[in-house]
Amino acid sequence: MHMTEFNVVLVDDEPDVHEITRLALRNLRIYGLPVRLLSAASKAEGIELLNSLTLGLADISMAQVAIIDVVMETDHAGLELCAHIREVMKNRSMQLYVRTGQPGVAPERSVIDRYDLQGYLAKSEATEDKLYTLVKAGVRQSWYTAVSRALQDLLHCLIQSGSSREHITAALQAWQRLTRPDPAGERTAWLRFASCYMVDHQYLDGRHEWSDAAVALQRRDELVALPATTINDDGDRVTMNGTDFLIQIAPTTANAAMQYMLRGTVPAPDWEVALYHAFLRSFAALWKQAA
């Protein structure tokens, strides 16, 4: 888990709604991390806020959930903002919930389908428990989608470079540079992690404190010495130690021996380890086949 906190955007023109929502989410923690509520009062402010939260590309956002009032400066300003997120920003992983005090203006079934929404909430239904449930479920789904997409995109990039191991290594290193947050920007504070790839037990590439091969290999050796859990019949293994995990892909006729090490902010949930394991199996097979 890379985040230091999860970001929820609230767009509503009523100040009381912001205060009530802030109180409802004040003690919410997801995977052990706090939730930060970011506020806007109009469609224009919402777009400006969301643009400030993008990470390199408009469709990659540091906001996991947006709760948007339908009726603000116009009767459909909130729905126009939802359309902007889906159609202009091309963001499909952010979980969108609309909240309205005038259900007749935006019938539930039509807006759920039209704007690819995850939820619809009348303001009379916006209890503390309901907000807690929507935000927690939304953040979980958004983060799962984001990790899945990132690994899928990286695998696609590696496959395109699969003519040789040198090209695969160059593609991996280029990807690592491309996805590195701007060190001068506030966004860096929202991500904190180290990672490292090893093939046939040799250092391939790493990020942050594990960009130093000696430091990474020392930590790898420490984790290898700890008890591990076998993942499958091929002998793939995972070692969990605090916020660090090490996945080891066993060498087979189809796969090279590969290791991936990640240090996050909190212990990785089981689903995250499973996604990385599936990605690494494909990476190990690609490496095995490359000349």
pLDDT in tens, 115-130: 888 888 887 787 888 8
- Residues spanned by CATH 3.30.450 within the chain? 164-289
| Whether pLDDT at 105 is above 60 | no
Question: For position 190, what pLDDT does the model report?
Answer: 66
Query: Which of 98, 96, 99 is CA-nearest to residue 87?
Result: 96
Distance CA 287, CA 155 (A): 12
10 Å Cβ neighbour count for 83?
Answer: 15
Question: For position 275, what pLDDT does the model report?
Answer: 97
Q: What strands, in cross-sheet order, belong to the sheet with 63-69? A: 29-30, 33-40, 6-11, 63-69, 95-100, 119-122
Query: Which of 93, 191, 97, 103 is CA-nearest to residue 143?
Result: 93
Dihedral, 79, 85, 90, 94 alpha carbons, nearest 10: -110
Cβ neighbours for 189, distance < 8 A, ≥ 6 positions apart = 4
Q: How far is CA 184 from CA 96, 131, 180, 189, 221, in A?
A: 30, 34, 11, 10, 33
Q: What is the CATH number of domain 164-289?
A: 3.30.450
pLDDT in tens, 221-237: 999 999 999 999 999 99
pLDDT in tens, 150-174: 899 999 999 999 889 999 999 998 8
Rounded to a whole number of angstroms, the distance between the first and last alpha carbons of the chain is 34
- Looking at residue 239, its amino acid is T
- Residues spanned by CATH 3.40.50.2300 within the chain? 6-140
- Looking at residue 194, its amino acid is A
From 1.10.357.10, 3.40.50.2300, 3.30.460.10, 3.20.20.80, which CATH number describes the 6-140 domain?
A: 3.40.50.2300
Confidence of residue 189 (pLDDT cuts 50, 70, 90): low
Distance CA 109, CA 36 (A): 30
